[in-house]
Amino acid sequence: MLREILIIVIKKFIHQFASPKTYFYQVNRLYPWLLYISLSIYVFAIIWGLFFTPKDFVQGHSYRIIYFHVPASFIAQSLYAAMAISSAVFLIWRVKLAAYLARSIAPVGAMVTFIALASGSIWGIPTWGTWWEWDARITSTLILFIMYLGLISLHNSFNNFDKADKLFSYLSIIGFVQIPIIKKSVDWWSSLHQPASITISDKPSIDPSMLYPLFMAMIGFAGLVACIVILSSKVQIYIREKNKNWVKDYV
Amino acid sequence: MSKFAFSSFSDAMNMDGHGIYVWIVFALFFIALSTSFFIFNLLIKKYKKRIK
């Protein structure tokens, strides 16, 4: 009995929140709060990390790029995971909002992956003496960037949104195999890239004075990226739902 | 929060010769994030105008 009630409540919640109209009005309310809070956290974390953390014994001041590079790399992979989950929700439950979200994550994911690659390359010059090396972590991240671009091109090449969404979803789920490969690349292959400094199972190998601003930078950056995804999803809603009365009324 | 890690403002900009790399990455992030916000807001305005 309790199980049935729970299923009905969950279904009702999904049904209600999965409506583009409800989503649109909810994110409109959330957006300014998320933007200003994330921006404050990010600016504070960057000032803390760039000016108030001690110099690294090995890398000197160049290690301060960590406050940009690590959040970008982490979010680039998380966005792909979010895109694959949205695609699965769309294919399993036929929730069209999930397809809109998956499509709106792709350009943001490409942008974040690009800045992760670029910041890593710039960091490589003083640290490794080269801006590029065909090493496992860098190459797998480059493949992630190409996958984002490929998925965007694929979706744009169809006139029929339904067909485009289906193919986009299948391919993004298949491409998810890349995420554990990126994560484990530094352990599986000999690599110039250092192993992960922060893991769930072990104590971080980074000093707390450098770690706290890094965590804050990751939270702030995640919030800012979420704001960009919200804007991108609003663009998708305007494109796909332009003939709906609620959109016309809102505009 | 620890104390200021540099002796002067120019020292903070220079970062023992590593400042160029750090500030280029900073500029890259600033440009990428602000451009993304700008472009998506512009697209929202464009589609809103079309619907009107």
Which residues, other chains included, contact B49 with Cβ-Cβ below 8 Å and sequence gap of 6+?
none
pLDDT-derived band of residue B1, with 50, 70 and 90 as boundaries? Answer: low
Decide if B3 and A114 are in contact by the 8 Å CB cutoff. Answer: no
Q: How many CB atoms lie within 10 A of CB A10?
A: 10
- Is B30 in CB contact (< 8 Å) with chain A? no
Residue A60 pLDDT: 85
Residue A76 pLDDT: 96
Phi, psi for residue A80 in degrees, rounded to 5 = -65, -40
Residue A121 pLDDT: 94
> How far apart, in whole angstroms, are the C-alpha atoms of residue A145 and residue A73?
11
Tokens found for residue B27: 């500029």
Among A203, A198, A195, which residue's Cα sits nearest to residue A215?
A198
Q: How many CB atoms lie within 10 A of CB A212?
A: 16
Interface predicted TM-score of the whole assembly (ipTM), two decimals: 0.93
Among A170, A155, A86, A80, which residue's Cα sits nearest to residue A116?
A80
Residue B34 pLDDT: 96
- Is A65 in CB contact (< 8 Å) with chain B? yes
- For chain A, residues with pLDDT lower than 70 are 196-204
Is the pLDDT at B32 greater than 80, yes or no?
A: yes
Q: What percent of chain B has pLDDT over 90?
A: 58
**Which residue out of B18, B37, B44 would a mutagenesis test of the A interface target, given it has the greatest number of A Cβ atoms within 10 Å?**
B18
Cα A52 versus chain centre, distance: 28
Report pLDDT digits (tens) over A103-132.
999 999 999 999 999 999 999 999 888 888
- pLDDT average, residue stretch B41-52: 91
Report pLDDT digits (tens) over A141-173.
999 999 999 999 999 999 899 999 999 999 999
- pLDDT average, residue stretch B6-12: 87
- Is A86 in CB contact (< 8 Å) with chain B? no
Nearest CA in chain B to A228: B37
Residue A3 pLDDT: 80
Nearest CA in chain B to A107: B36
Type of residue numbered B40:
F
Residue B8 pLDDT: 87
Q: What percent of chain B has pLDDT over 70?
A: 98
Q: How many residues does chain A have?
A: 251
> How far apart, in whole angstroms, are the C-alpha atoms of residue A94 and residue A99?
9
> How far apart, in whole angstroms, are the C-alpha atoms of residue A180 and residue A86?
18
> How far apart, in whole angstroms, are the C-alpha atoms of residue A104 and residue A83?
9
Nearest by CB: B52 against A64, A231, A251:
A251
Q: Cα angle at A132 between A127 and A134, to 5 degrees?
A: 115
- Phi-psi sector, A184: left (phi>0), alpha (psi -120 to 50), beta: alpha
A145, A113 Cβ separation under 8 angstroms: yes
**Which residue out of A24, A51, A104, A232 would a mutagenesis test of the B interface target, given it has the greatest number of B Cβ atoms within 10 Å?**
A51
Nearest by CB: B28 against A50, A119, A248:
A119
